[in-house]
Structure 1
Amino acid sequence: MDLASVSRQLCHGISFSQHEPAPMLRLRTGENWNTEYLELNRSLNLEVGDLKFCLGYITMNRDGSRNVLPCPKNKALRTGTQCESCRRLDHSKFMHHFHKTGEAPEGMRKYLEQPHFLYIASFAHGATKVGTTSTQSQWTRLAQQGAVIARYIARANDGTAIRVLEDLVTEHVGLSQQVRQKSKIKGLVGWELDHQQLDTINEQAANQARDFLATQRGLENYGVQLLDQLWEQPSFARPVIEAWDTRSLHAWSSTVPGSRHTLRIRGVLGQSIMADSGEGTTLRLLDAAELKTREVDLSEEHGEFQEEQSALF
């Protein structure tokens, strides 16, 4: 066995839980997980590798719980987060097509049997999407995606029905089901809109999608209930949104992969970390999706450190 691959600490991105004190950077070495809490005002050194590696695959247990298994071959990647072998083994791919094919492992069927919600989420540059989430992921799903504003517009007794509605909204209202991470980051540092303008965009899209669904017959037969419920942003995301709204948030000025970074955490929004270098220094946004699939070594930073210099100077 390749000893380097066994000791390689790969980043699986930022995860969220209402039962944890802060967002968590999830790191894995072989079978062992390490959780680093991204607490406000914590100062860190990050050593980020240049190469990308497969993060493995997900299988579902019969009770609907899941396992995250490492890549058997620890394969290097050019793009994405999985090698072709792990993509074939991954059960989560059935989630997006089950309402069309009826094909899924028993554990995934169990997961999809629980109530699900339909939401409309908007991001800083105005891109707005429709999406679904289970009851158990109702809060964490939008936190993980980095939505700036979101509204729940429907609830169904199972995930199959809610995914049918999602496709209908995409087809007839024109809302996408995906927004690229790079565009989310660009919007937060681009200052094209403010919070009030984005709220109007989100509210109009939610109303349009809900009005369309209200015209569909037989929704009650599938346990569908239309909603008008604003999603509440987590406290650690609010400083990022405020910095964007006041146009005081700037782009990270150096390449993240293959580099060492020193930062003080000032907020977390989805897969992005807002950081500065101490009191009165520039607020910058690190795209934490650049950490995912790469080796990351993390250590505490003590004392004062120099502010990262802008590439413009």
Structure 2
Amino acid sequence: MDQALPASGTYVCHGITWASGDPRLLLAPVPGGPFVYAGVMGVRLGYQVSGTGRWCTGRYRFADRVRVEAVACPDRAAAEAGGQCAACAGQDEFRFAHQFHSGGHVSDALAAYMAQPHWLYLATFANNTTKVGTAADPRKRSRLDEQGALVATYLVQSPDGRAVRFLEDALTRRLALTQTVRSAAKLTALAELRDLAPAHTTHQQYLDHASEALSDINIPAVPERWSPPSEGDLLRTPEPGASCTRTTHAKASTG
């Protein structure tokens, strides 16, 4: 995946991926071709937005029993509900994962993926919002790296994806935790970050409550603090009076 940023061309931007262990821009060439996994650290990125529409971000498929991988939309079609076109949404092999524990359709590939150990975690963001989430064991690290959190903790490892989702729902009900945080909200909060202390305080409070809630259902928490990737240190360093500008489409990324 060691690819340089393209010097020219038109691409559908799928955002940043941590699949290779470091942040890379995931780009789908237009009109077609394989994904470009372009490194972004230590380089200057310049781009121009083409049009005002939203484009399909493709789908996910199972690469083997323990991994999923992104697949670009073959038509580079306009996005509909959920950021996908109807064709990609209908073929997305991972779309039933979040309802896996509630019954319904389960493919053999999804069942095999869910049979592996999963992690339950808490993540707190720069706006002090805390979410509860899950990650398959091979994605334990990259799942949190890509979240954009200020602080996060793995609560417990579950034997499979079904069990961990029941725990996720239990904490959602007990602590009124969300399971999703919009990317725009995460980025805005990071841009306006002035003080790390409130997020750390909030996280510890939820961690204490979550540990108690798990204990009540005979699941002892084994907290393990997530270590943020160094690539995000600059964003996690509050600078009073500083702000991110949105008047330019050029950005210097530093490691």
Gaps of 5+ in 1: 1-6, 220-224, 255-259, 268-313
One-letter amino acid matched to 1:266: T
* Corresponding position of 1:201: 202
Contact 1:61 1:107 in 2 (8 A): no
Match of 1:261 among 249, 252, 255: 249
Separation in 1, partners of 2:136, 2:228: 18
Contact 1:64 1:109 in 2 (8 A): no
* Corresponding position of 2:23: 23
Q: CA-to-partner distance for each residue in 1:42-81, whole Å, 9 max, x for gaps?
A: 2222223233221222222563443533334432236642
* Corresponding position of 1:247: 240
Alignment of 1:12-161 (within 5 A): 12-17=14-19, 20=21, 22-29=22-29, 30-40=32-42, 42-50=43-51, 51-60=53-62, 63-77=65-79, 80-101=82-103, 103-161=105-163
Contact 1:58 1:91 in 2 (8 A): yes
Separation in 1, partners of 2:33, 2:128: 40
Q: Which has the higher contact order (CA 8 A, sep 6+)?
A: 1
In the TM superposition, residue 234 of structure 1 has moved relative to its aligned partner by 0.3
Gaps of 5+ in 2: 1-8
In the TM superposition, residue 251 of structure 1 has moved relative to its aligned partner by 2.9
Separation in 2, partners of 1:105, 1:31: 28
Separation in 2, partners of 1:148, 1:237: 9
Separation in 1, partners of 2:252, 2:102: 46
Separation in 2, partners of 1:73, 1:64: 28
Separation in 1, partners of 2:120, 2:75: 37
Contact 2:80 2:86 in 1 (8 A): no
Separation in 2, partners of 1:62, 1:150: 28
* Corresponding position of 1:310: none
Separation in 2, partners of 1:89, 1:194: 43
- SS state at 2:70 partner: strand
Q: CA-to-partner distance for each residue in 1:149-192, whole Å, 9 max, x for gaps?
A: 0011111111110000000000111111011112112212334x
One-letter amino acid matched to 1:44: L
Separation in 1, partners of 2:10, 2:74: 14
Separation in 2, partners of 1:37, 1:198: 30
Contact 1:133 1:141 in 2 (8 A): yes
The structure number with the bigger radius of gyration is: 1
Alignment of 1:217-296 (within 5 A): 217=218, 219=219, 226-242=221-237, 245-247=238-240, 249-254=242-247, 261-266=249-254
Separation in 2, partners of 1:25, 1:62: 23
Separation in 2, partners of 1:9, 1:189: 26
- SS state at 1:48 partner: coil
Contact 1:65 1:107 in 2 (8 A): no
One-letter amino acid matched to 1:246: E
Separation in 2, partners of 1:233, 1:62: 28
Separation in 1, partners of 2:254, 2:70: 30
One-letter amino acid matched to 1:238: D
Q: CA-to-partner distance for each residue in 1:184-229, whole Å, 9 max, x for gaps?
A: 12212334x6212211110110110111010114x4xxxxx52111
CA RMSD of aligned residues (A): 2.2
Separation in 1, partners of 2:164, 2:80: 34
Separation in 2, partners of 1:150, 1:158: 21
Q: What TM-score comes out, normalization by structure 2 length?
A: 0.87
Contact 1:53 1:81 in 2 (8 A): yes
